Amino acid sequence: MTDSTTDSTTRQSWWRGAAIYQVYVRSFADGDGDGTGDLAGVRSRLPYLADLGIDAIWFNPWYPSPMDDGGYDVADYRDIEPVFGSLAEAEKLIEEAHTLGIKIIIDIVPNHCSDSHPWFAAALAAGPGSPERERFWFRRGRGDGGELPPNNWQSRFGGPAWTRVTEPDGSPGEWFLHLYSSRQPDLNWTNPEVAEEFEDILRFWFNRGVDGFRIDVADGLVKADDLPDAGDGPLPYSDLDGVHEIYRTWRRIADGYPDQRVFVGEMWLPDPERFAMYLRPDELHSAFNFDFLSCPWDASRLRAVVDATLAAHAPVDAPATWVLSNHDVTRHVTRYGRADTSFSFADRQHLAPTDRELGLRRARAAALLTLALPGAVYIYQGEELGLSEVEDLPDSLRQDPVFERTAGADIGRDGCRVPLPWSGDAPPFGFNAAGTAPWLPQPPSWSSVTVAAQTDDPDSMLELYRRALRLRADDPALGDGTLGWLSGQSAGVLAFTRSETFACVVNLSAAPVELPAHREVLLASRPVEQTLPPDTTVWLRI
Ligand code: GLC
């Protein structure tokens, strides 16, 4: 393929401007009444998603898993977690979604598997020096008796990234690497057997019709051979050439299928230029932009992030992606209602006071900002309902390994994973049949934010998302493309055009501001008259 064909093909690719809805299966909708979401629940709610106006669904891992890390601990990559349903049901779901015009992206977790995966059991049993151990990173410990971890790497969930095993003969033995929990051993991507296994897994799901993969920890698969201590430089487990090679191969597999398939990477890299180095139109097509998510509600900071993001993506011809929330971070209604509106994993500001009304107002404004930016947008289930983080879950019910590995210092991510409220006045709010408790308890106050309560209420968050997604889909200027900043705006205002006829203006200042000249207000996050109130976004026909 020549450069120019690559260019024109990717320019028309559906994912460049798609609105993608993230389904955390466990918490979306429960079809069989056991209090845990499942594929039957998703199937029953597909019309809701079609009506919302999204282009694709991204499913968090739906594979068999002990659920130590909410499914990111995969025990079998070619099947469905029995609590969620069956493979036959997943096939039906994919087909039904396609009939409704919705594409399906599924999560692939190549960096690590579960300690319940048969490979890990085989590695433990086979002992040091065996080919079974070569699929993982087993090493002798440091210190005379091998009693210290092999290097200084820290788990992203807290504590050392190494755990020592007991050998089959009962002696204290080697250590294995896990960048996440000790129940998620890292796979060794320098071993061709690992690469071949995942190529086969991709084919398995492409053959079942999935339209793409969200790649978990996309930058972290290839570790520096000698596993050096981590210092100030790039992470010794973020090798660029190594991952390019993997995604080039994956792309070739995808090219064997008639329709376009997308690969979206999950990477928490602080530097936008380094981030963009992982992207290429014929490999990893796009990745989540977490700088935007982490950015405080501040006009100049947000503008700087938007500019840096677009500038970093342009040379690699990748569409930017915009994300406000996901299953790992504090819901943005809660973040935006705090004194400090930024997000970082190091300081999740648990239980810092938050003003829900203020957070909601900003979240409405942020939704219209996000949906107007050039590129693809991800919507995390429940953000269209304006859900807050549930911060007061009883400790005994917390399931996230982060809570345990940090001895409670970080309460973890359960608060953004509480099952969705669909209807009714009391929990379980139609998530499952009354009489069974959902796997995490819903706040009684959610009676006012159910899908049923918000439907047809013109002032609701849900109707704002519905209208915005419809307008976005109908206006060819929105989605993929470029933006031009409008000059002459007051401080605290973000104003840009997407075409000669569309402008978006966000007022992040404390005072009302004049609207630029326009023909029509297409949509506003709050009522506007002559001026634009604080914390409000408006879409204008100019
Ligand atoms: C990603 C996922 C997160 C998971 C981690 C380990 O960051 O989004 O939920 O815990 O990878 O798989």
Residues 475-501 have a mean pLDDT of: 96
Q: Which atom of ligand 1 is nearest to the CA of 112?
A: 12
The residues annotated with a catalytic role in the active site are: 216, 266
Amino acid 36: pLDDT: 98
Q: How far apart are CA 374 and CA 116, in angstroms?
A: 42
108 Cβ inside 6 Å of ligand 1:
no
Tell me which of 117, 179, 180, 290 to substitute to probe ligand 1's pocket, judged by most ligand atoms within 8 Å of the beta carbon: 180
Residue nearest ligand 1's atom 9 by CA: 328
Is 374:382 a contact under the CB 8 Å cutoff?
no
Q: Which atom of ligand 1 is nearest to the CA of 72?
A: 12
At 434-458, the pLDDT tens digits run 889 999 999 999 999 999 999 999 9
At 67-122, the pLDDT tens digits run 999 999 999 999 999 999 999 999 999 999 999 999 999 999 999 999 999 999 99
At 146-183, the pLDDT tens digits run 999 999 999 999 899 999 999 999 999 999 999 999 99
Query: Which tokens sit at 535?
Result: 């914390």
Q: How far is ligand 1, taken at its centre, from the CA of residue 291, in Å?
A: 17
Q: How far is ligand 1, taken at its centre, from the CA of residue 163, in Å?
A: 19
186 Cβ inside 6 Å of ligand 1:
no
180 Cβ inside 6 Å of ligand 1:
yes
What string of DSSP letters covers 318-386?
---EEES--TTS--HHHHHTSSS----SS---TT----HHHHHHHHHHHHHHHHHSSSEEEEETTGGGT
* Residue 190, Cβ density class (10 Å: 0-12 exposed, 13-18 middle, ≥19 buried): middle
What is residue 135's three-state secondary structure?
A: helix
pTM for this structure?
0.96
Tell me which of 27, 67, 69, 264 to substitute to probe ligand 1's pocket, judged by most ligand atoms within 8 Å of the beta carbon: 69
Residue nearest ligand 1's atom 5 by CA: 72
Q: Which atom of ligand 1 is nearest to the CA of 268?
A: 7
Residues above pLDDT 90, as percent of the chain? 89
List the beta bridge partners of residue 60: none
pLDDT band at 209 (very low <50, low <70, confident <90, very high): very high
Q: How far is ligand 1, taken at its centre, from the CA of residue 34, in Å?
A: 25
Tell me which of 63, 186, 267, 328 to substitute to probe ligand 1's pocket, judged by most ligand atoms within 8 Å of the beta carbon: 328
Does residue 233 register a pLDDT over 80? no
List the beta bridge partners of residue 321: 376
What is residue 265's three-state secondary structure?
A: strand
pLDDT band at 9 (very low <50, low <70, confident <90, very high): very low
For β-strands 513-514 and 520-524, DSSP reports them as: unpaired
Is 3:416 a contact under the CB 8 Å cutoff?
no
Is 133:194 a contact under the CB 8 Å cutoff?
no
Residue nearest ligand 1's atom 2 by CA: 216
Amino acid 237: pLDDT: 78
Terminal alpha carbon distance of the chain: 40
Q: How far apart are CA 224 and CA 55, in angstroms?
A: 38
Q: How far apart are CA 185 and CA 187, in angstroms?
A: 6
* CA gyration radius, the chain: 23
Q: How far apart are CA 297 and CA 391, in angstroms?
A: 21
Residue that has been written with the tokens 């971890």 in this structure: 149
The phi, psi pair for 115, rounded to 5°, reads -70, -10
Is 436:38 a contact under the CB 8 Å cutoff?
no
Q: Which atom of ligand 1 is nearest to the CA of 111?
A: 12
Amino acid 4: pLDDT: 34
The 8-class DSSP code of residue 314 comes to G
Is 278:267 a contact under the CB 8 Å cutoff?
yes
Least Cα distance to 401 among 70, 120, 27 occurs for: 70
Amino acid 348: pLDDT: 87
